[in-house]
Structure 1
Amino acid sequence: MQLIESVLVLLVLVQLIFLFINKKEKQSLAFVGLGLLAFHFILGEGRWQMSFLYLIEVILIGIYLKRTKSSRWMRVIGCFFAVILTVASAILAYALPVFSLPSPTGSFNVGLEKLYIPVNSREETITENPSDKRELMVNVWYPTKDPTEVNSPYLPQVERVGFATKYGLPPAALNYLNKVETHHQRDAQPADGQFPVLIFSPGYYTPASGYLSIIEDLVSHGFIIFNIIHPHETMGIEYPDGRNVFFDMAFNEANSWGWNDDVSSAVNTLQSSNDNNEKRKATAQMAKTYGKDIVKRWAADMGSVIDRLTQLNSDPSFRLQGKLDLDRLATYGHSVGGSAAIEAAIFDERIKAAVNLDGAQWGSLIDTVLNKPAALISSSATYGQPDVNQYIFEKSLGKNFQNLVLRNSGHSNFSDIPFMIRVPQLNEAGSISPTIAAQNTTAFLNAFFKKYLLDETIDLDDWVDSNPYLMHRE
């Protein structure tokens, strides 16, 4: 909770105690509460999580100012429910906080540009209209020397609505995120020079912009990041003409990621067999079906973005004209986005390196070798699922491959979700601090990409061995 919210909680509890004490100070407490509430709302700090507390405080102010008398039993019953509602407000405020993002550690400030990329050469296979073409929106995060005078809001409204829908909340439930301070601004002047390019793909059914704890820091160290918003499969996307497209639940339920009897049989083998050869065959069987289509679709999106960048880099109307060092380009992503990052790197020679953040590597890697620098950072939580990556990546293990685990982490610790939702049963995070998880993930990505894109002399094995939160996977 914020400081003023904590003070309000304490004030309500004191006022409830004073209901049982004959003191002249009662009326003074009413004026204190009135002033504190007014100050709270004048600052624009009010939020729905504290609604129960506001209601109790208004009732108490009325009781004290009117000097209303009631029986002791009425006061006891009233206090009982007031305490319950106060605790409920405190829990809601804690579970859905106004959080602080880690401050970027690099020398650059961060700018944001929105980019619309229609891909007329590719059919949109998710919608029912056969004439629909793939349309991508991309957040372009880039280094700037402009001072960050007006911070951009956290998450665009369309992603907030999609997020609220996922968790069964009213559309306006996440408007309190306006109070979260970011470290970037729209339409800033790019910094001088060229910068290496990273193509980033988010997780499935996530807010695609909800990775600022990592993105802002990486950009501050001199990278340009193209953050793809995949239509129909992330929480929400807004096109320049005003159209909003949300996660397509009907498509998701109808396709089930390619689940069939063969996949079910493979899962049973992975969970029950002690024979590595049997598990290896089951993994190969599963990887060729389950999740394959989405991984290939998102990898193709990455390729489409790279195609467009080669045109934009010489376009005078593009804010970042000439700033993209396309000879130093890599992909990375989280969950399915991480799988797509590796998939794209297998077939696209323009991609020099790739990192998968806790994604099961469905797709083509099971049948081939990735002869490029790559890394897999897994969470330490398994959620009772079989470890398919140990078999999928085994052909690609080598001196340019880092197979790592982030200690005490969960699947969402590679995103902002643990900042946004503090309830472990909902956020799929581990016990590691969200800030520590983001800082150490970013530090590795920074070292990895500087080694393989900027040719800096960095011994990644030594780097990992000296890090208390990352470890090599056995």
Structure 2
Amino acid sequence: MSVIDAVLLISTVAFAISLVAAPRFGRRAAPFALPLLIIASLALWALEGYWHWWPLYLLIAVMFAFVMTDAAGTRRRVAFRVGIGVLTAVAIAPWALPPQPELPEPTGPYAVGSEIFRWVDEQRPEPMTAADDRRNVVVQAWYPTEVESGRQWVYLDGRGRLPARVAGIPGFLLSDLLVETHATADVPISAAKDRWPVVLFSPGYGAPRAFYTGLIADLASRGFVVLAVDHPYESAVTELADGTIATTVENISADDPDGTEYMTERLETRTADLRFVLDQLARPDQLGVLADRVDLGNLTAAGHSLGGATALSALSMDHRLTAAANIDGTLYGALPERSLTRPVLLIESDRAETGHSQRYLDGNRSLLERLLAPGFRYEISKADHYSFTDVPQFLAAPVRFLVTHLVGGSRGAADTQRLTNDILTPFLLGRHSEIANHPGVAGGPVPR
């Protein structure tokens, strides 16, 4: 979209909104606005031949007819306004959502391979269903490789069977996504090392693992095996081992109005999920291409939002984890009162832009104050809570620009994810002195 395209689109939409929402103002502005819009659209057609702007041209024509008819005082005003509203939506739609989200390319020295594991924990019942189901844990591994096969995994589980909404996004908009994940399937893990450090990654509440592909693929390219965990019946969409498509099930009781008990229960289930994944790492027969290639002495956990709390909870309960990183996560249950004995990292979005809750602020402060091991806190300026995810990439650039400057996150997802991994990489490897300072990132070691 060129500058002239953007100006014409914004001006036309603004005038259309004024006609519908404030018709008196719109009619007064019409003698000036309409001629300019007509001249600009004719010039655009003559110079660039943009036939795909036909909804915009039709919108201008309908607004012209509306102004002329409205001046005559006919009773067709409602129909015209509905037509203007529909045409405005049609004109905006191609620029509101891009045909395919474009994720940032990984910055590490390795290509990235991927494989999905759909495991069943026979020892645990599924807490979110009435049937006698066993708990499923779905894991997508992202790992360093030197080979590219050309075959990618589908971005989201459940293609062709998506629910009506996926984490707030209409399912039909995601049904045919062919996102370039920058990772290929059926490739061997890199031979540069005998065994690779492992990071368990837990997504935010309700978010599928796919929404963190940009962050995770980049981390894998830097030399980690990243195991992204879907938590079924909490994630927006997950394909289970038997092919069932599990979607979010919420059963918040009436005596739990703020959902605190519910979120605490979800945290406990997620923690058990991560511990089950750790169990599988000791079973080469379950690991496919990763068999005998993971470093069981270098196991860490990280996550975003509730996933960040999950990483800390797993660290507090399982000695196999050597460190954990919480990215913008609110803590629940007794977690803030625990004294963790292994390193902890807190990465935050801009507090001024995100507006973290008091529970978030108090819980993380309490946990960091009780640490019996090295702790670190960093705040990334101009990043909001969703900047760590792929979600901003589902908006076209003009809309993304407008949204981020209105509600925050103007740093952008790509830069936020890169900075996050710049901090995560040395921390997860235990090389704390190598965590570098970056422009726009404030923080450092937590005093002990």
Does residue 447 of the first structure (1) align with residue 423 of the second (2)? no
Counterpart Cα distance in 1 of 2:101 and 2:137: 30
Counterpart Cα distance in 1 of 2:318 and 2:160: 30
TM-superposed deviation, 1:324: 1.1
Partner of 1:45: none
* Residue correspondences, number: 400
Q: 1:467 to 1:85 in 2, by over 3 A?
A: same
Partner of 2:207: 206
TM-superposed deviation, 1:399: 6.1
Contact preservation (8 Å) 2:303, 2:327: yes
Does residue 401 of the first structure (1) align with residue 401 of the second (2)? no
SS in 2 for 1:339: helix
| Aligned positions of 1:261-410 closer than 5 A | 289=261, 291-311=263-283, 313=284, 315=285, 318-381=288-351, 382-383=354-355, 385-386=357-358, 387-397=361-371, 400-410=374-384
Contact preservation (8 Å) 1:214, 1:438: yes
Contact preservation (8 Å) 1:360, 1:388: no
TM-superposed deviation, 1:134: 0.7
SS in 1 for 2:205: coil
Select which of 105, 108, 122 maps to 2:107. Answer: 105
Contact preservation (8 Å) 1:153, 1:181: no
Partner of 2:223: 222
Q: 1:317 to 1:409 in 2, by over 3 A?
A: closer
Counterpart Cα distance in 2 of 1:395 and 1:74: 65
Counterpart Cα distance in 2 of 1:369 and 1:303: 19
Contact preservation (8 Å) 2:207, 2:236: yes
SS in 1 for 2:147: coil
SS in 2 for 1:161: coil
Partner of 2:237: 236
Does residue 431 of the first structure (1) align with residue 410 of the second (2)? yes
TM-superposed deviation, 1:163: 7.4
Q: Name stretches of at least 5 consecutive residues in structure 2 with no aligned partner.
A: 13-33, 70-79
Q: 1:290 to 1:403 in 2, by over 3 A?
A: farther
Counterpart Cα distance in 2 of 1:429 and 1:420: 16
Counterpart Cα distance in 1 of 2:65 and 2:377: 64
Contact preservation (8 Å) 2:342, 2:373: no
Q: 1:115 to 1:434 in 2, by over 3 A?
A: same
Does residue 182 of the first structure (1) align with residue 181 of the second (2)? yes
The two structures have a TM-score, normalised by structure 1, of 0.71
Q: Name stretches of at least 5 consecutive residues in structure 1 with no aligned partner.
A: 38-52, 64-69, 264-285
SS in 1 for 2:177: helix
Contact preservation (8 Å) 2:8, 2:41: no
Contact preservation (8 Å) 1:136, 1:230: yes
Q: 1:410 to 1:457 in 2, by over 3 A?
A: closer
| Aligned positions of 1:73-92 closer than 5 A | 88-89=89-90, 91-92=92-93
Partner of 2:125: 123
The two structures have a TM-score, normalised by structure 2, of 0.75
Counterpart Cα distance in 1 of 2:96 and 2:142: 29
Does residue 172 of the first structure (1) align with residue 194 of the second (2)? no
Contact preservation (8 Å) 2:202, 2:307: yes
Partner of 2:30: none
Partner of 1:418: 392
The one-letter amino acid paired with 1:228 is V
Contact preservation (8 Å) 1:197, 1:324: yes
The one-letter amino acid paired with 2:207 is T
Q: 1:410 to 1:163 in 2, by over 3 A?
A: farther
Q: 1:110 to 1:225 in 2, by over 3 A?
A: same
Counterpart Cα distance in 1 of 2:115 and 2:274: 18
Contact preservation (8 Å) 2:164, 2:172: no
Instruction: Please report the RMSD computed on the Cα atoms of aligned residues, expressed in angstroms.
Output: 4.2
Q: 1:403 to 1:144 in 2, by over 3 A?
A: same
Does residue 469 of the first structure (1) align with residue 441 of the second (2)? yes
TM-superposed deviation, 1:189: 2.3
Contact preservation (8 Å) 2:206, 2:234: yes
The structure 1 segments of at least 4 consecutive aligned residues displaced by more than 6 Å after TM superposition are: 5-10, 18-21, 74-77, 79-86, 425-428
1:45-65, Cα deviation, whole Å (9 max, x unpaired): xxxxxxxx56567x79xx9xx
* Percent of residue pairs bearing the same amino acid type: 27
SS in 2 for 1:189: coil
SS in 2 for 1:439: helix
Contact preservation (8 Å) 2:368, 2:375: no
Counterpart Cα distance in 1 of 2:54 and 2:151: 30
Contact preservation (8 Å) 2:339, 2:370: yes
TM-superposed deviation, 1:81: 9.7
